[in-house]
Structures are given as structure tokens and as C-alpha cells.
């Protein structure tokens, strides 16, 4: 048996096909409509939950794949259907990763199922709130405070989070807050805000350029009290960690927010690939049909070569995503920022391919009767969220140089 293979196994092929069918038959037909209406696609979330696609079991199964490739496969297919709807369904995973990356086994058991199901058995959503109006790329400058009230064994949170996917409509919010401001990023911790907790409310909902079916809003925390057990990792571990930092010893742990982002980057890159593939396929078909000057436009080298480059970039990006997903699952350390590389490349590829797709369609690409302009709008977010292009470059350049590049 060969030691190295890029062939998908039977399980992966089956899952890919199942998700693709959902993307093609359920998501695509409504994608334009939800983009126009800029609404959360609740009926589609319900359908995904009914068939078990949006479920803890399905996600656990995908996460458990020892090769690491199943999750990117799922993300690519969903985003091929529609990235906004895909995020409306799987945006929950960011909150879930926030819990699993920082919580104890008991906390994971208690909260992760609640990210998927309400008490009445209807689907639930989760959100992960790090970003603030004055702390985007610089997550060390968060201002949201969490103060421990010893008398009631509660944490009291105050502050405003912004750009939060599912913010305010989620059942479970995971919030990163400052416990000790003197320690900067190392004085932060993550908290679960249980469903219906008073003091958490939605601020403004943003009107966006793309991924418009995905809800993005501010989350306001106003004397929001949560039980002591909502501190992820537990109080004892936090106290020990803070003491180590104060004594100038290593915190022994990466920043809470960064740990979450690192684990999820290849999956986010895979979503960008889904959009890029959709645009590539559409423009290839179009170029084979559209005739000008008495021949199909693909018979011009300038169009055919553009498509050749699009396919090459798409496949190269997928290889980086699969490599990072495989490395992170199989315990290979990211020594050169491979997670960041995968997301950096996939985001750029999606923006570039969707722009080229508009070019291939000409005027027909610039109007809303064809989906390529939407895909271009959707693609741009992949250069921005979960670490901008420049932040990925920073991670990679620091990793390859061993220097603290600014
Ligand atoms: C649709 C959407 C959904 C989102 N969902 C979530 C979510 O669920 N949870 C969450 O916590 N956040 C979320 N975000 C926030 C997102 O992660 C931030 O927007 C992103 O991290 C960038 O922060 P910023 O917008 O404040 O930009 P800034 O950090 O202000 O960056 C502005 C520009 O400066 C550049 N820059 C900044 N610092 C440096 C540097 N050191 N070197 C070089 N260039 C630099 C950036 O690359 C960028 O080009 C979401 C954002 C959007 C738009």
C-alpha cells in the first residue's frame, strides 16, 4: 500500500456527494433570494437540521476523520451552494471550536450540544465574539471586561462586540473578555453565555457587501451575569495561568482567541474554494456556449488561458487547504504558518477567480441575473475575516523568519 495518497476514501466520497446534493438542490435555488433579502435562511437551517447535516453528530463525525480532509470537503460543497447560507448553517462551528479549544471535558459535554439543539428540539445557533470596534486584527486590545463576583460565584461582563456572525440571534454565545487588563492578551479568557441570559442583547445588524444570508451584528454586554462554571477552562486553571504570567513565567497557553482561529483556518479557506469553484465552473460553461466573431469565446487563447490559470490556482489552493487540515489533524506542527497560508491563498484565489469569471461573462457577469457578481461580493470576506490577508502574512513571515515582524 502506498504511503502517500490524495485519493478520497469511500466515506469521504459519500459525504461529499451528500452535501453536494443538498447544496445543489436546496441551497442554490434560494441563494439569490436570500442575498437580495439579506435575511437569515431559517427554513434552510431547519431542513439541514432535519436531515442531520446541521447536527452535532455530523460535525463530530467530520471532525473525527483521521485524515482531517472531511471538514474542508463539507465546507467547500456548502460554499459552492452559497457561502452566506453555508455560513448561516455552519457559523455555529466557530462557537463550538471556541468551547472545545478552551473548555474542560465537562464544559464541552454541557455546552456543545446546546449549540445545535434548543430544549424544544429545534435547531440552535452559536456565535463566537472576539472583535470589538477598536480591536479587530489587534485582539490584544480588547476592552470587554469580565469581573468575578465572589459572593455569588458569577462573572459580570460588560462591553460591545462587533461583526459577530450569529451575534444576538445565537442561543449560545462564546465571548472573549479581559480578566486582567494589565496582562494584555494574556489576561483574557473565554466565557459561555447561556441561552436567554439577561444583559446580552443584539446591537445593530450590519448590511453587507456579500455573504448576506449570514447574520452579522453587534453584541452588547451590559452587566451580563453568568455562573462561575461558564468560564471556559475553569477558575482554578485561569488563576494558575494568570499567576504564571504575573511572575513572568510562560502562560503555557496560547491566547484564547488565537487558538480558536488557528484551528479553523483551513476550514474557512475551504469555503473560499467553494465560491471559487462555483465561479470557475460557471464561467467555463459560459465560455463554451457564448459565441462572438463566429466562434465560441473559449476558442480565443486569452479566454482559454484565463480558465487554465483559474483551474490551476483553484487546485493549488485546495492542496494548501488539505495540507493544513491534514497537518493539524495528524499532529504535525504548523512550522511555517501552514494554516495561515491555506486561508491566505484560498481567499485571494476566490477573489481573483470570481473577478475573472465576471470578465469572461462580460456585461452578463456584471448584472444580478447571473450569480458571478454575487460570488465576487461573497469572496471578498475571505480576505478579511478570521485574520485579514495582512495578518496571515504576518503569521507566516514570523514563522519562517523567527523574527517579530511588525
Ligand atoms: C462579515 C463578517 C463576519 C465576522 N464574524 C466575526 C465573528 O463571528 N466573530 C468575531 O470575533 N469577529 C468577526 N468578524 C471580524 C473580523 O474578524 C475582523 O473584521 C477582522 O479581524 C479585521 O478587523 P478590523 O475589521 O477591525 O480591521 P483592522 O484590524 O482595523 O484592519 C484594517 C486594515 O489594516 C490592516 N492591518 C491591521 N493590523 C496590521 C498589521 N499589524 N500589519 C499590517 N496590516 C495590518 C488589516 O489587514 C486591514 O487591511 C467578522 C467580520 C465580518 C466583516
Over the stretch 185-217, which tens digit does the pLDDT of each residue have?
Answer: 999 999 999 999 999 999 999 999 999 999 999
Q: What percent of the chain has pLDDT over 90?
A: 93
Which residue from 163, 206, 351, 390 has its CB within 8 A of the most atoms of ligand 1, so it is best to mutate?
163
Q: Are residues 155 and 91 in the same domain?
A: no
Task: Check which CATH number belongs to the domain holding 78 and give it.
Answer: 1.10.540.10
The response to whether residue 94 sits with its C-beta less than 6 Å from ligand 1 reads yes
pLDDT per residue over 275-333, tens digit each?
999 999 999 999 999 999 999 999 999 999 999 999 999 999 999 999 999 999 998 98
What pLDDT shows up at residue 230? 98
- Radius of gyration (C-alpha) of the chain in whole angstroms: 22
Cα–ligand 1 centroid distance for 66 (angstroms): 32
Q: What is the pLDDT of residue 388?
A: 97
Task: Indicate whether 285 and 186 sit together in one domain.
Answer: no
* Structural domain includes residue 32: yes
Judge contact between 76 and 62, C-beta under 8 A: no
- 136 CB near ligand 1 (under 6 Å): yes
pLDDT value for 3? 80
Q: What is the mean pLDDT of residues 97-114?
A: 95
What per-residue confidence (pLDDT) applies to 260? 57
Q: Does residue 81 have its Cβ closer than 6 Å to ligand 1?
A: no
- The reply to whether 264 and 397 lie within a common domain is yes
SS (H, E, C) the chain: CCCCCCCCCHHHHHHHHHHHHHHHHHHHHHHHHHHHHCCCCHHHHHHHHHCCCCCHHHHHHHHHCCCCCHHHHHHHHHHHHCHHHHHHHHCHHHHHHHHHHHCCHHHHHHHHHHHHECCCCCECCEEEECCECCECCCHHHCCCEEEEECCCCEEEEEEEEEEEECCCCCCEEEEEEECCHHHHHHHEEEEEECCCCCCEEEEEECCCCCCCCCCEEEEEEEEEEEEHHHECCCHHHHHHHHHHHHCCCCCCCCCHHHHHHHHHHHHHHHHHHHHHHHHHHHHHHHHHHCEECCEEHHHCHHHHHHHHHHHHHHHHHHHHHHHHHHHHHCCCCCCCCHHHHHHHHHHHHHHHHHHHHHHHHHHHHCCCCCCHHHHHHHHHHHHCCCCCHHHHHHHHHHHHHCCCCC
Taking the CA of residue 165 as reference, the ligand 1 atom at the shortest distance is: 8
- For ligand 1, is residue 385 a contact (CB within 6 Å)? yes
How many A from CA of 138 to the centre of ligand 1? 8
Q: Give the model's pLDDT for residue 369.
A: 92
Phi, psi at 86, each rounded to 5°: -55, -40
Q: What is the CATH number of the domain that holds 294?
A: 1.20.140.10
Same domain, 261 and 361: yes
Instruction: Flag whether 262 is in a domain.
Output: yes
Active site residues: 386
Atom from ligand 1 closest to the CA of residue 208: 1
Residue with CA nearest ligand 1 atom 48: 388
The string of pLDDT tens digits covering residues 214-251 is: 999 999 999 999 999 999 999 999 999 999 999 988 65
**pTM score of the predicted model:** 0.96
Residue 37 lies in a domain: yes
- CA 251–ligand 1 middle distance (angstroms): 25
Share of the chain above pLDDT 70, in %: 96
Domain region containing 316:
256-401
CATH number of the domain where residue 199 is located: 2.40.110.10
pLDDT of residue 102: 92
Residue 105 in this model has a pLDDT that exceeds 70: yes
- pLDDT at res. 254: 55
In a domain, 333, yes or no: yes
Average the pLDDT over each of 33-47, 323-337, 349-363 and give the range with the smallest value: 323-337
Q: Does 76 reside within a domain?
A: yes
Give the integer Cα–Cα distance in Å for 175 and 142: 11
- The answer on 129 and 69 residing in a single domain is no
The answer to whether residue 342 sits within a structural domain is: yes
Domain boundary among 195, 226, 246: 246
Give the pLDDT band of residue 154 (cuts 50, 70, 90). Answer: very high
Pick the atom of ligand 1 nearest to 137's CA. 29
User: In whole numbers, what is the pLDDT of the chain averaged over residues?
Assistant: 95
What is the spatial distance between Cα 170 and Cα 91, in angstroms, rounded to a whole number? Answer: 10
Helices (H), 290-337: 301-329
| Residues 371-386, mean pLDDT to the nearest whole number | 98
DSSP state of 370: S
Ligand 1 centre to CA of 137 (Å) is: 5
Question: What pLDDT score does 248 carry?
Answer: 87
Of 162, 260, 384, 396, the residue with max ligand 1 atoms within 8 A of its CB, to mutate for a pocket test, comes to 384
C-alpha 84/C-alpha 100 separation (Å) is: 24
Q: Is 181 left (phi over 0), alpha (psi -120 to 50) or beta?
A: alpha
Question: Are 288 and 373 found together in one domain?
Answer: yes
The finding on whether 165 has its CB within 6 A of some atom of ligand 1 is: yes
Regarding whether 285 and 206 lie in a shared domain, the answer is: no
Same domain, 31 and 69: yes
Looking at the domain assignment, is residue 119 inside a domain?
A: no
End-of-domain residue from the set 189, 214, 246: 246
Shared domain check, 273 and 349: yes
Atom of ligand 1 nearest to the CA of 166: 8
Q: Which whole number is the average pLDDT over 322-345?
A: 94
pLDDT tens digit string along 243-284? 999 998 865 555 555 655 666 799 999 999 999 999 999 999
pLDDT of residue 361: 98
Measured by CA distance, the residue closest to atom 23 of ligand 1 is: 136
Q: Which residue has the least CA distance to atom 29 on ligand 1?
A: 137
Ligand 1 centroid to residue 39 C-alpha, Å = 23
**How far, CA to CA in Å, does 277 sit from each of 6, 257, 269, 271, 280?**
19, 30, 12, 10, 5
Q: Would you call 89 helix, strand, or coil by DSSP?
A: helix
Question: 141 and 106, same structural domain?
Answer: no
User: Does residue 391's CB lie within 6 angstroms of at least one atom of ligand 1?
Assistant: yes
State residue 253's pLDDT score: 54
How far is Cα 204 from Cα 23, in angstroms, rounded to an integer? 30
Q: Can you tell me the mean pLDDT for 154-183?
A: 97
Same domain, 264 and 239: no
Q: Is 35's pLDDT higher than 80?
A: yes
Phi-psi region of 233 (alpha: psi -120 to 50; beta: other; left: phi over 0): left
Using the Cα atoms of residue 378, residue 381, residue 385 and residue 386 in order, give the sign of their dihedral.
positive
Domain count within the chain? 3
The three cell numbers of residue 367 are 448584472
When pLDDT is cut at 50, 70 and 90, the band that residue 60 belongs to is very high
Q: Is 90 in the pocket of ligand 1 (CB under 6 A)?
A: no
Asked if residue 406 belongs to a domain, the reply is: no
**Domain boundary at 85, 110, 135, which?**
110
- Please indicate, yes or no, whether residues 96 and 150 belong to a single structural domain of this protein: no
Provide the pLDDT for residue 264.
79
Amino acid at each position: 500500500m502506498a504511503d502517500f495518497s490524495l485519493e478520497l476514501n469511500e466515506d469521504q466520497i459519500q459525504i461529499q456527494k451528500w452535501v453536494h446534493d443538498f447544496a445543489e438542490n436546496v441551497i442554490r435555488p434560494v441563494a439569490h433570494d436570500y442575498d437580495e433579502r439579506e435575511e437569515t435562511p431559517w427554513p434552510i437551517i431547519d431542513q439541514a437540521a432535519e436531515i442531520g447535516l446541521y447536527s452535532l453528530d455530523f460535525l463530530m463525525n467530520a471532525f473525527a476523520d483521521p485524515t482531517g480532509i472531511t471538514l474542508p470537503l463539507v465546507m467547500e460543497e456548502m460554499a459552492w451552494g452559497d457561502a452566506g447560507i453555508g455560513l448561516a448553517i455552519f457559523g455555529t462551528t466557530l462557537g463550538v471550536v471556541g468551547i472545545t479549544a478552551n473548555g474542560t471535558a465537562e464544559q464541552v459535554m454541557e455546552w456543545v450540544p446546546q449549540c445545535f439543539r434548543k430544549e424544544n428540539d429545534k435547531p440552535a445557533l452559536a456565535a463566537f465574539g472576539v472583535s470589538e470596534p477598536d480591536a479587530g486584527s489587534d485582539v490584544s486590545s480588547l476592552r470587554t471586561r469580565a469581573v468575578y463576583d465572589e459572593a455569588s460565584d458569577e462573572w459580570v461582563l460588560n462591553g460591545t462586540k462587533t461583526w459577530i456572525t450569529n451575534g444576538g440571534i445565537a442561543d449560545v454565545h462564546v465571548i472573549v473578555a479581559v480578566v486582567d487588563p494589565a496582562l494584555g492578551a494574556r489576561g483574557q479568557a473565554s466565557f459561555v453565555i447561556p441561552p436567554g441570559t439577561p444583559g446580552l442583547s443584539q446591537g445593530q445588524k450590519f448590511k453587507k457587501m456579500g455573504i448576506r444570508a449570514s447574520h452579522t451584528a453587534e453584541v452588547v454586554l451590559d452587566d451580563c451575569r453568568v455562573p462561575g462554571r461558564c468560564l471556559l477552562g475553569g477558575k482554578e486553571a485561569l488563576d494558575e495561568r494568570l499567576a504564571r504570567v504575573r511572575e513572568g513565567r510562560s502562560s503555557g497557553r496560547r491566547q484564547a482567541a488565537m487558538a480558536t482561529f488557528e484551528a479553523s483556518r483551513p476550514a474557512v479557506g475551504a469555503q473560499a474554494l467553494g465560491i471559487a469553484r462555483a465561479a470557475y465552473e460557471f464561467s467555463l460553461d459560459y465560455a463554451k456556449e457564448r459565441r462572438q466573431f463566429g466562434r465560441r469565446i473559449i476558442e480565443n487563447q486569452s479566454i482559454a488561458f484565463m480558465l487554465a490559470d483559474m483551474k490551476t490556482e483553484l487546485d493549488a489552493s485546495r492542496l494548501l487547504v488539505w495540507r493544513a487540515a491534514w497537518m493539524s489533524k495528524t499532529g504535525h506542527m504548523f512550522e511555517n504558518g501552514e494554516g495561515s497560508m491555506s486561508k491566505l491563498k484560498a481567499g485571494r484565489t476566490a477573489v481573483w477567480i470570481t473577478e475573472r469569471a465576471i470578465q469572461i461573462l462580460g456585461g452578463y457577469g456584471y448584472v444580478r441575473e447571473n450569480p458571478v457578481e454575487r460570488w465576487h461580493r461573497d469572496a471578498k470576506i475571505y480576505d478579511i475575516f478570521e485574520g485579514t490577508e495582512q495578518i496571515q502574512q504576518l503569521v507566516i513571515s514570523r514563522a519562517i523568519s523567527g523574527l517579530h515582524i511588525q
